[in-house]
Structure 1
Amino acid sequence: MKIKLLMMIGLFTGSVISAQEKLNKLDKPRLIGFSPSKKTKNVNGMLIKYYDEIDHEIQPKKVNGVGLGFNGLGIFFPALLLVSIPSIDNWAINDIDSETLPDKMNKINGLQLSIINMEPTVTNGLEINMASNISAPSVTNGVAFSPLYNFHHTTKGAAVSTFANVAQKCRGAQIALINVCKDSRGIQIGFWNENEKRKLPLINWNFKNKKS
């Protein structure tokens, strides 16, 4: 009886140690990682994304370095959005709202470089996308640049694009033909600018905090 009990304890201990070793391997930073991949969790170097995961499938990743996105679908989305926008008011799309950001968000400390980003992402540094963050709440602490347009939940720093910057919360500057922000503390420079206080051409601003 004692021998069987010891064997059971040994097997259980061995399985726990094996599971822990597997977790440690996943947590160990990689120099080059790929996504989607359950084996990639932390990257100190470069993350290569060949496809964007949908919300409930996202395996959050932390990258200290460069995140490269090569989702081929990103080639078509920007053109479709430009064609389907009939008025300035529609830049305040439903995807940019005040809902709580999801817990499953990638974090990139460094550079995010993509055709288009469709995963919830926090970028601390520089973000360069053809058109950023379609259907994906995102936070940029630093500078976001796009030759077309930027969609963000939150920007702290500067968002620069050719056609439009749209955000729920802005702390800093928006520079584009059209700028829209629902909670702005900073300056907007463009052909048309909207924040929670006013709508103005050329330049708009709001530097006052809301009263609690």
Structure 2
Amino acid sequence: MKTKFLMMISLFIVCIINAQDSLNNNLDKPKFIAFSPSKATKNVNGVLIKYYDEIDQDIQPKKVNGVGLGFNGLGIFFPVLFLVNITSIDNWGIKDIGSEPLPDKMNKINGMQLSIVNMEPTVTNGLELSLSSNISAPSVTNGMAISPLYNFHHTTKGVVISPLANVSQKCRGLQVALINVCKDSRGIQIGFWNENEKRKLPLINWNFKNKKS
């Protein structure tokens, strides 16, 4: 009787392990269309439709080879709020951009990010198109970011273009807008007013030296 009981327990444990392995395999298997936030999606070769994904232990970061579509309705209101406060550009600062990026806990999009506004922690390798780019998220863009209004990022490496303002914590490359602000810059700023850690200048600004501690 004890032998049968032990065999039943062993079989039960094996079933649980197999179920867990199957779940992990399903997470790793790429999907063509997926949604976020979701604990059931890890890899996407196609389209990720996302609403609002925060850095959280319970939310699985996604790797997307394709397109990330953001439909956060709150993003409609942010451009209007920033337009009203455009005169307080000095106050936009780092607190509006977010904390240091944690790439291992962020969505990674290899391709294109298209959104009203991106409020998810995201690493975009490629092209980013949005109404007001990244807001309140420790975002990283490697490539090109284009917005019809504003670009807000933590880190940009490449080209960032908008008609009104580009604001970043860390920039490596080119910023083009009416107003450009970067706290840690290696590159060129072109616009009506440009600010980096070294100087403030109209029309064109630059810095190619390491930031002094």
TM-score range relative to shorter protein: over 0.9
Q: Which amino acid aligns with 1:78?
A: P
Q: Give me the whole-angstrom Cα distance separating, in 2, the residues matched to 1:43 and 1:63.
A: 5
**1:190–1:201 Cα contact (<8 Å) kept:** yes
Cα RMSD (Å)? 1.6
Whether 1:132 aligns to 2:133 is yes
Percent identity reads 71
Amino acid at match of 2:49: I
Moved more, 165-174 or 88-97: 88-97
Q: Work out the number of aligned pairs and report it.
A: 210
Partner Cα distance (1:116, 1:196) in 2: 27
SS of 1:132's partner is coil
CA distance in 2, matches of 1:88, 1:119: 23
Contact 1:155-1:169 at 8 Å conserved across structures: yes
Where 1:108 maps in the other structure, the secondary structure is strand
State the Cα deviation string for residues 36-85 of structure 1 (Å, max 9, x = none). Answer: 22222210011112x21344364311100011112222111111121134
Assess if the C-alpha contact under 8 Å between 2:94 and 2:169 holds in 1.
no
Which AA in structure 2 matches 1:104? K
TM-score, with length taken from structure 2: 0.92
The answer to whether the Cα contact below 8 Å between 1:91 and 1:180 also exists between their aligned partners in 2 is no
Q: Secondary structure at the match of 2:115?
A: strand
* Structure 1 unaligned blocks of 5 or more: none
Classify the secondary structure of the residue corresponding to 1:167. Answer: strand
3-state SS in 2 of match to 1:25: helix
Q: Give the Cα separation in 2 of the matches to 1:86 and 1:38.
A: 41
Say if 2:39 and 2:59, in contact at 8 Å, map to a contact too: no
Establish whether residue 69 from structure 1 lines up as the match of residue 82 from structure 2.
no
Pairwise CA distance, 1:162: 0.9
Q: How far did 1:9 drift?
A: 1.2
Cα 1:211–1:192 shift into 2, 3 Å? closer
Structure-1-length-normalised TM-score? 0.93
* Alignment correspondent of 2:101: 101
For 1:4, what is the secondary structure of its paired residue?
helix
Residues 42 and 61, structure 1, Cα contact 8 Å, conserved in 2:
yes
For 2:212 and 2:191, how far apart are their aligned partners in 1? Answer: 28
Local SS of the residue matching 1:37 = coil
Residue 190 of structure 1 corresponds to which residue in structure 2?
191
Instruction: Name the structure 2 match of 1:148.
Output: 149
Q: Deviations over 1:95-148 (max 9, x none)?
A: 336x43234210000000001100010000000010011111100000000011
Per the TM alignment, residue 155 of structure 1 is displaced from its structure 2 partner at its CA by 0.4
Question: 8 Å contact 2:114–2:128 — kept in the other structure?
Answer: yes
Residue of structure 1 in register with 2:120 after alignment? 119
